[in-house]
Amino acid sequence: MATRTDAPTRREQILKEAARLFAERGFHGVGVDEIGAAVGISGPGLYRHFAGKDAMLAELLVGISGQLLTGAKRRLQEADGVASEAVLDSLIEGHIDFALDDRPLITLHDRELDRLRDSDRKLVRQLQRQYVELWVEVLREVYPGLAEPAARSAVHSVFGLLNSTPHLGRPGSLPGRGATAQLLHRMARGAFAAAGTQ
């Protein structure tokens, strides 16, 4: 884990605030002036850092999809030779960490995809598909009887389950991050088990 200690760049500040605002009010519901104000500059000032409002969304969505995929690939590589069950657990854990720590991004991820330029959307879709296929492979190792279409549906459904964290109330009304993560993990495994047996 290469933890960042240096201060975030202006670009990163902007992306973070833009993600929050987009998640709260939707891409079209947020003006560039608001995004600028959130980082203490005027709206047009943003154009020193991004080609346009679309470019911010694109960078966010490509970034999320890429991060998820990269993280999953790393987990798979690290767990070479390990039991499939443990790999599946590792994938679930990674996704939960992401869902709990980057709620706005998780929200955007499946909500504003259609607002992207064609080329960006295709890229994001491709990354997402790879991520799903990776899960499907591991899942079918754990449950060999599971047909591929059913496995894909099961993976999408568990993503829906894990990505429900934004609906779980503000962080604080929850029983605590650890307990929530454990609950989600158990439920995901339970859902997969129910999909894979019978």
Contact residues toward its own copies (CB under 8 A) are 24-29, 110-112, 114-115, 147, 149-150, 153-154, 156-164, 167-168, 174-175, 179-180, 183-184, 186-195, 198
Task: Enter the tokens of residue 43.
Answer: 């709206």
Round to whole Å and give the CA distance between 189 and 149: 19
Choices 41-49, 58-66, 87-95, 155-163 (CB under 7 A): range interacting with DNA: 41-49
Structural tokens at position 54: 């679309």
Question: Nearer to its own copies by C-beta: 48 or 170?
Answer: 170
Q: How far apart are CA 76 and CA 52, in angstroms?
A: 36
Cα dihedral sign for 52, 57, 59, 60? positive
Q: Please state, in angstroms and rounded to a whole number, the distance separating the CA atoms of residues 125 and 119.
A: 10
Find the binder of DNA among 31, 175, 176, 190 (CB under 7 A): 31
Which CB atom, from 37 or from 191, has the smaller least distance to its own copies?
191
Contact 104, 25 (CB under 8 A): no
Instruction: Identify which range of 23-31, 88-96, 124-132, 186-194 contacts DNA by CB under 7 A.
Output: 23-31
Q: Both tokens of residue 79?
A: 């767990």
Token representation of residue 91? 């994938």
Name which of 15 and 108 has its Cβ closer to its own copies.
Answer: 108
Q: Is 43 in the site for DNA (CB under 7 A)?
A: yes
Instruction: Check binding of 71 to DNA (CB under 7 A).
Output: no
Which of 19, 23, 36, 69 is the binder for DNA (CB under 7 A)? 36
Quote the tokens at residue 198: 């019978």
Minimum distance from CB of 67 to DNA (Å)?
Answer: 24
**Is residue 28 part of the contact set for DNA (CB under 7 A)?**
yes
Comparing CA positions, the residue from 165, 154, 194 lying closest to residue 101 is 165
Which one of 53, 95, 109, 115 is in contact with DNA (CB under 7 A)? Answer: 53
